[in-house]
Amino acid sequence: MSRRVVVTGLGAVSSLGLNTLEFWNGLAGGKCGIVRRTLGPGDGLTITASIAPADAFDAYAETLGRDMARADRFSRLAVAAAEEALKDSGIEITPELGGRGAAIIGTGIGGAGSQDEAYHAMLTKGRRPHPLTILRIIPNAPASHLSIRFGLRGPAFAVSSACASGAHAIGVCADIIRSGAADFGLAGASEAVLSYGPLEAWKAMHIMSDDLCRPFSKSRKGLVIGEGAGVLMLEDYDRARKRGAAIYAELVGFGMNADGKDMINPAVDGAAGAMRAAIEGLRLDAASLYVNAHGTGTLMNDPTETKAIREVFGADADRLLVSSTKSMHGHLLGAAGGVEAVAAILALKHGIVPPTINYDEKDPDCDLDYCPNEARPRRLEFALSNSFAFGGLNAVLAFRRL
C-alpha cells in the first residue's frame, strides 16, 4: 500500500489579503482584488490584481529579516506564504527532521522585478547591476530561501511550467513524499511580475483586459495579472495522524500531460486528459465536486476548458460546480496553481463554493454552472484545481475532504 499524502498547512498572499484568512474571506465574499496602477514612465495606467495598498506587503516583508530585505519580491511572497503554512501545520523542524522535509516552489518567470530594475538602470543610466541581481532573479531562489530559513534539507528545487507551475510543484512534491524521499514538504508557487517591462510584454500579446476579469462570461475582455504566493504543507498521512495534526484534505490525484500542439492555443483533449488522470480511480459524485477552473477570462481558455469538463464528466457536468477565482485575485501566472489549490481546499473545508464574479453575460460556448457572482453553500467531497499553461502544459490536482 503506497503512502497517502495530506494537507496540514496553508499559506496564501494575494491581492485579496496577506494571509489565508483574508484570502478566504475575500473569496467567499466575492471581493474584487483588481486595481489601477501606474507601473512605468508616463501616465499609462495598467490594470492589475496587485496587493493593495502597494506598500502593505512591503511593511510586512520588513519583519521577515535581512535575507528577505535583500531578496526579490517573489521570494518574499513565497517565504511569507510558507511561513504561514508551516506555522499552520504545527510541524517543528528539528535538525534531524529537516533532512526529511522538501521545499518545492514553482514560478513562471522568477525575479522579474529585480531583472527589470537592474537592466533598466544599466541600459538607460549606465549603472552596473547590483551584485545580488543573479541571486535575486534565479527561479530557484524561493525554494532555496525556504530551505535555508526553515532548515529543510530534503529535495528542494523550482518547478517552471508557466501558469501550471504551482500545480506541478504541489503534485511533484506529493509524488516525492509517496516515493519515500521525504516525509513532508512545503510546496506551491510564487510570482511577482508587476513591473513595467514584464507588463508591457504581456500587453503586447493583446490578451489583457482593460478593466475587469470576467471568466466564462461572453463579455470577457481578457486576463488581469495578479501577484502573490500560495504554499501548502504536504505530509505523509500516517505521520500527520500520529502527531495529531489537523488535516485539511487529502491530495488524492494528480494528472499531468502536454498538449503537444501549440505554444498559445490550448487543446481540449490535453486538458481533458489531465483531469481524467487526476480523478482516475476515485468514486466521486459530481453533485459534491467543485472544479476550481483555470478560467483565465480569455477566449482561448474558457470555451476550451468548458468543452474539456464536458468531455470528462459527460451529462454529470451539469451537476458539478465550476468557478474561476481568478475573477477576484487575478491570474497569478506561475503562482496561480498555488493559491487556487488553497482556494479549492478551503472550499472543501467550509462547504462553500467561491463565485466567479463579474459574470454578466451568458456565453453559448460556456454552458456550465460557474457559480456566478455569489458564493454558494454546497456539501463537497472532492475538489479539482485546474492549471493549463502556455506551451500546452497541463496539471490538475484532486483533493478530498477527510
Least Å distance, CB 69 to other proteins, is 11
Which segments of 99-164 does DSSP mark as H helices, in order?
112-125, 133-137, 141-150
- Considering the rule CB under 8 A, would residue 242 count as an interface residue with other proteins? no
**C-beta closer to other proteins: residue 136 or 294:** 136
Stretch of residues binding other proteins (CB under 8 A), selected from 5-13, 43-51, 127-135, 284-292: 127-135
In the set 32, 331, 366, 371, the catalytic residue is: 331
**C-beta closer to other proteins: residue 132 or 402:** 132
**C-beta closer to other proteins: residue 87 or 119:** 119
Closest C-alpha among 393, 12, 343, 8 to residue 191: 12
Residues 314-319: contacts with CB under 8 Å, at least 24 apart:
316/286, 317/286, 317/368, 318/368, 318/369, 319/286, 319/287
Interface residue with other proteins among 131, 244, 281, 377 (CB under 8 A) is 131
Give Cα separations from 181 to 3, 25, 129, 149, 156 (angstroms): 11, 36, 39, 21, 11
Angle between helices 112-125 and 73-89 (to 10 degrees): 160
Is 317 within 8 Å of 367 (Cβ atoms)? no
Is 162 within 8 Å of 393 (Cβ atoms)? yes
In the set 163, 173, 366, 371, the catalytic residue is: 163
In the set 145, 168, 294, 329, the catalytic residue is: 294
Closest C-alpha among 357, 298, 21 to residue 163: 298
Per-residue contact string for residues 133-172; x = within reach of other proteins by CB under 8 A: ----------------------------------------
- Considering the rule CB under 8 A, would residue 378 count as an interface residue with other proteins? no
Query: Which contiguous run of DSSP H or E holds residue 104?
Result: strand 101-106
Closest C-alpha among 21, 10, 90, 26 to residue 345: 10
How does DSSP assign 217-232, residue by residue?
-TT---B-EE-EEEEE
CA distance 55 to 358: 27
Total residue count of the chain as it appears in this document: 402
- Considering the rule CB under 8 A, would residue 87 count as an interface residue with other proteins? no
- Considering the rule CB under 8 A, would residue 125 count as an interface residue with other proteins? no
Confirm whether 145 is a catalytic residue: no
Stretch of residues binding other proteins (CB under 8 A), selected from 122-130, 176-184, 226-234, 352-360: 122-130
345 CB-contact burial (10 Å; exposed 0-12 / middle 13-18 / buried 19+): buried
Interface residue with other proteins among 125, 128, 206, 379 (CB under 8 A) is 128
Per-residue contact string for residues 55-74; x = within reach of other proteins by CB under 8 A: -----------x--------
CA distance 99 to 366: 47
Least Å distance, CB 133 to other proteins, is 10
**C-beta closer to other proteins: residue 128 or 283:** 128
Site for other proteins in 273-332 (CB under 8 A): none
Q: Diameter of the chain by CA atoms? A: 62
Interface residue with other proteins among 132, 134, 300, 402 (CB under 8 A) is 132
Least Å distance, CB 131 to other proteins, is 5
Q: What is the separation of C-alpha 330 from the centre of its chain, rounded to a whole number of angstroms?
A: 10
- Considering the rule CB under 8 A, would residue 130 count as an interface residue with other proteins? yes
Stretch of residues binding other proteins (CB under 8 A), selected from 130-138, 299-307, 323-331, 394-402: 130-138
DSSP state of 368: S
**Which residues 6+ apart lie within 8 Å of 85 measured at CB?**
9, 10, 11, 186, 188, 231, 232, 233
**C-beta closer to other proteins: residue 127 or 243:** 127
Confirm whether 329 is a catalytic residue: no
**C-beta closer to other proteins: residue 66 or 283:** 66
- Considering the rule CB under 8 A, would residue 120 count as an interface residue with other proteins? no
**C-beta closer to other proteins: residue 133 or 161:** 133
Confirm whether 371 is a catalytic residue: no
Query: Kind of pairing, strands 101-106 and 156-159?
Result: parallel
Least Å distance, CB 125 to other proteins, is 12
**C-beta closer to other proteins: residue 125 or 242:** 125
Interface residue with other proteins among 21, 38, 54, 127 (CB under 8 A) is 127
Give catalytic residues, as residue numbers: 163, 294, 331
Q: Would you tell me which residues interact with other proteins (CB under 8 A)?
A: 66, 127-128, 130-132
